[in-house]
A and B are shown apart, each in its own frame.
Chain A
Amino acid sequence: MDNQMERETEVGETWAREEEIVRDLRSVLGEKLLEAEIPTKRRVFVKVAEGAHREAISMLVDSGVWHLSTISGVDTGDGFEVVYHIFDHNRGVEVNIKSPVPRDNPEIQTITDLIPGSSIYEREIMDLLGIRFPGHPNPRRVILPEDWPPDQYPLRKDWKPEQLTKASRRYAEIPTKPGQVILQVGPQHPALKEPINFEVVVEGEVVVDFIPHIEYNHRGVEKAFEERTYLQGIYLAERICGICGHSHTTVFVEAVEQLADVRAPPRGRFIRTIVAEMERIHSHILWLGVAMHLIGWDTMLMYSWRDREVIMDLLELVSGNRVNYAMNTLGGVRRDIRNDQIHKIRKGLDILEKRTLEYRDICLKEDTLMKRALGVGIVKPELAKKMCAVGPLIRSSGVKTDVRYDDPSVGCYEELSGHWSVVTSDLCDIVGRVLVRVDEVLESIKMLRWMLDNLPNGPIREKVPKKIPEGEAVARYEAPRGEVIHYIRSNGTDKPDRVKVRAPTWGNYSAIFESMKGLYIADIPINFGSIDPCMACASRTTFVDVSHSKPKKWTWTMEQLVEYGIRWYENRGYKR
């Protein structure tokens, strides 16, 4: 609340908050602050000397900053650069701290003691660029496949796919105590989504430790961006995720527009945001159906997906396809919205609002959901902030943070501020996440009605040159699952130099895996599903049971895990 009041009074002064941050950093670092740049509103880029990044980050952490968006590793040709993207909620500014790393000895001190949520980002850079982080608590492989040779780093500029030699297949050994059972949940399961593998250490029924393997969906998209033009890159960005593809293209296109110093015209930005909010509605209703299926309540899956068809028809009307809308292009949007389409959208929104209110009512009354989800998978606000969680996960822990509210630089969210409110819940468990998502659908419907009433006239796109001038840009947006951030570096040609993509589920892993400890095996699917995971991962869960005298190991598919959960609760008297 105070943030918004502050921002409204500062609309006249453009760079006051950003300059304050640069002054504070300079007073702490002195000579070690090599460069500082403020290319646009709410963005600060500073370059610090080797080894000085820890001082800069501890100064920010001490002043109350907790959110690390991501860490990017860049191969600049003569060396490496590690860029820390940190969001300061108090001032609403994204601070990007660049630290050089020498090529012959690629090492940089870890920051996991300052911000524990940085652990998974540092592991990703270890895998892809080969930079070491001495002091990291868990330097294991996280994203490349298990049979990738150990000395090949794909994101280095001098690496080519032809260099890849076949290494022997090595499955990572899990140290087990006597009586431990490892349960494998295989990469193939019928209920949906992607392959992912968990190794779960169990004592009887209770989960003691949880080790995920999330490398099944790694396709090498970041390297592919460097070989395609910006225009071709839009369609590649859209297929990073099929459910929130529009969010990825929005962020990519906004970052390129920042680099080219072009702003899309107002009607184009409004249409971009209209499609984005419609995507949010479709994604949340999809999640509702799937999460209820994971509990065993299949009826809700069928009813909610029947109503989801209303929004899918509207999206097909506006964009030409049910999924992969391809509305965004460099400089604006490709298609306009006609008045008869607006009329149909309004009718569809009325139907959806009525149905969503009914679902909200039903969910709170349904005994199955309450027994299985109330008090399960608790993520306290301190843990969520420590692990840099994003999206409905952190909002269901009572923390009021939303990129559309804190950093409205994308689309028409600046014009929208004041006409909608951030949805939070104090329950901190799975029921809280259900309520947050259902209420966000209602907020989106409110926003859509305002945008359709106030749609400005005018052109829908601006011209953007083919060759983008040299520079770097960061764009952030609140996708249905959380914060999406793209960091793009350009070098004056028509192909980007480096594109770093951090999807929202990546940011939620650390928090949710911490919350798994202490749960029953039966609750694993719904707890993991409550972050709305969007990764093509085949879940393979390996269970390790520590309570028997001889180590027992077994593998289950996700469907077997879901069936087990349903049977477990039925045996205790809860009917489906």
Chain B
Amino acid sequence: MAWPGALIPEALRTLFKEKATVLYPFERIERAEGYRGKWSLDLDACIGCGTCQRVCPSFAIEMVETDKTKTGKKPVMRLDHCCFCAQCAESCPVDAITLTKEYELAAPEKEKLLVE
């Protein structure tokens, strides 16, 4: 038999339990191990081969001139293009790229979203 307010007993039960809300930004949820957040490059390990640029599905990585790597090029990443798939980190032959746990990346202009 149906009656309105079938959720009321459930609601009364949760009245005395702890709240479900996480008070962001005063409390934060710990992100899981292996979370795919902001891109970061270890420039000492990078050899400038360009594999990351070739496999990126959203064409977010560009190779620019530098004098710190063997081939004279290093990757820069535009975060507004990145799809956070970690394919570049997986394909890198020297493991120079990692994806960190940082996710608060809002910015008012697109230029601020360039990561070197």
Is the CB–CB distance between A575 and B4 below 8 Å? yes
Is the CB–CB distance between B35 and A362 below 8 Å? no
Contact partner, B84, options A228, A233, A321, A365, Cβ 8 Å = A321
Min CB gap B59→A, angstroms: 9
**B33: nearest chain-A partner, CB-CB:** A317
- Chain A, 370-382, contact with B by CB distance < 8 Å: what is the 0/1 string? 1100000000000
Given A316-B32, A367-B2, A575-B4, are A235 and B10 also a contact pair (CB < 8 Å)?
no
- The answer to whether B106 has its CB under 8 Å from any CB of chain A is no
Residues of B contacting A366 with CB < 8 Å?
2-7
**B56: nearest chain-A partner, CB-CB:** A232
Residues of B contacting A324 with CB < 8 Å?
83-85
**A228: nearest chain-B partner, CB-CB:** B57
Min CB gap A499→B, angstroms: 14
The A301-315 residues at the B interface (CB cut-off 8 A) are 303, 306, 313
Q: How far is the CA of A299 from the CA of B20 in the complex (A)?
A: 14
Residues of B contacting A365 with CB < 8 Å?
1-3, 6
- The answer to whether A21 has its CB under 8 Å from any CB of chain B is no
Is the CB–CB distance between A239 and B83 below 8 Å? yes
The B48-95 residues at the A interface (CB cut-off 8 A) are 55-58, 83-87, 90
Q: How far is the CA of A442 from the CA of B108 in the complex (A)?
A: 45
**B31: nearest chain-A partner, CB-CB:** A316
Q: How far is the CA of A326 from the CA of B82 in the complex (A)?
A: 14
**B21: nearest chain-A partner, CB-CB:** A306
Residues of B contacting A316 with CB < 8 Å?
31-32, 35
Residues of A contacting B90 with CB < 8 Å?
334
**B91: nearest chain-A partner, CB-CB:** A231
Is the CB–CB distance between B34 and A303 below 8 Å? no
- Chain A, 438-451, contact with B by CB distance < 8 Å: what is the 0/1 string? 00000000000000
Residues of B contacting A368 with CB < 8 Å?
4
Min CB gap B52→A, angstroms: 13
Is the CB–CB distance between B32 and A235 below 8 Å? no
Given A231-B55, A235-B83, A326-B86, are A367 and B32 also a contact pair (CB < 8 Å)?
no
- The answer to whether B11 has its CB under 8 Å from any CB of chain A is yes
Min CB gap A351→B, angstroms: 13
How many A residues touch B, CB cutoff 8 Å?
A: 32
Residues of A contacting B85 with CB < 8 Å?
235, 324, 326
Q: How far is the CA of A255 from the CA of B3 in the complex (A)?
A: 50
Contact partner, B36, options A236, A239, A320, A369, Cβ 8 Å = A320
Is the CB–CB distance between B20 and A306 below 8 Å? yes
Is the CB–CB distance between B10 and A358 below 8 Å? yes
Contact partner, B4, options A233, A334, A335, A367, Cβ 8 Å = A367
Is the CB–CB distance between B7 and A317 below 8 Å? no
- The answer to whether A29 has its CB under 8 Å from any CB of chain B is no
Q: How far is the CA of A239 from the CA of B82 in the complex (A)?
A: 13
Is the CB–CB distance between B11 and A320 below 8 Å? no
Is the CB–CB distance between B7 and A362 below 8 Å? yes
**A374: nearest chain-B partner, CB-CB:** B2
- Chain A, 236-276, contact with B by CB distance < 8 Å: what is the 0/1 string? 10010000000000000000000000000000000000000
Interface centre among A228, A303, A317, A326 (most CB of B within 10 A): A326
- The answer to whether A300 has its CB under 8 Å from any CB of chain B is yes
Residues of A contacting B7 with CB < 8 Å?
299-300, 303, 362, 366
The A325-368 residues at the B interface (CB cut-off 8 A) are 326, 334-335, 358, 362, 364-368
Is the CB–CB distance between B55 and A362 below 8 Å? no
Min CB gap A318→B, angstroms: 8
Interface centre among B2, B33, B90 (most CB of A within 10 A): B2
Residues of B contacting A234 with CB < 8 Å?
57
Residues of B contacting A232 with CB < 8 Å?
55-57
Is the CB–CB distance between A303 and B83 below 8 Å? no
**B36: nearest chain-A partner, CB-CB:** A320
**A234: nearest chain-B partner, CB-CB:** B57
Min CB gap B38→A, angstroms: 13
Q: How far is the CA of A300 from the CA of B10 in the complex (A)?
A: 11
- Chain B, 24-44, contact with A by CB distance < 8 Å: what is the 0/1 string? 000000011111100000000
Min CB gap B33→A, angstroms: 8
Residues of B contacting A306 with CB < 8 Å?
20
Min CB gap B44→A, angstroms: 25
**A365: nearest chain-B partner, CB-CB:** B6
Q: How far is the CA of A368 from the CA of B5 in the complex (A)?
A: 8
Q: How far is the CA of A216 from the CA of B7 in the complex (A)?
A: 37
Q: How far is the CA of A239 from the CA of B85 in the complex (A)?
A: 11
Given A320-B34, A321-B35, are A303 and B10 also a contact pair (CB < 8 Å)?
yes
Q: How far is the CA of A320 from the CA of B90 in the complex (A)?
A: 14
Residues of B contacting A317 with CB < 8 Å?
32-33
Residues of A contacting B2 with CB < 8 Å?
364-367, 369-371
Q: How far is the CA of A334 from the CA of B90 in the complex (A)?
A: 9
Residues of A contacting B10 with CB < 8 Å?
303, 358, 362
Residues of A contacting B3 with CB < 8 Å?
365-367
Min CB gap A338→B, angstroms: 9
Min CB gap A473→B, angstroms: 21
15 other A-B residue contacts (CB within 8 Å) besides A235-B58, A365-B6: A228-B57, A232-B56, A232-B57, A235-B57, A235-B83, A321-B35, A324-B83, A324-B84, A324-B85, A335-B34, A362-B6, A362-B10, A365-B2, A366-B5, A367-B6
The 7 listed contacts between A and B (C-beta, < 8 Å) are: A231-B55, A299-B7, A324-B85, A326-B36, A326-B87, A365-B3, A575-B4
Closest A-B pairs by Cβ, 10 of them: A235-B57, A232-B57, A365-B6, A366-B6, A367-B4, A367-B2, A370-B2, A320-B36, A317-B32, A316-B32
Residues of chain A touching chain B, judged by Cβ–Cβ distance below 8 Å, are 228, 231-236, 239, 299-300, 303, 306, 313, 316-317, 320-321, 324, 326, 334-335, 358, 362, 364-371, 575
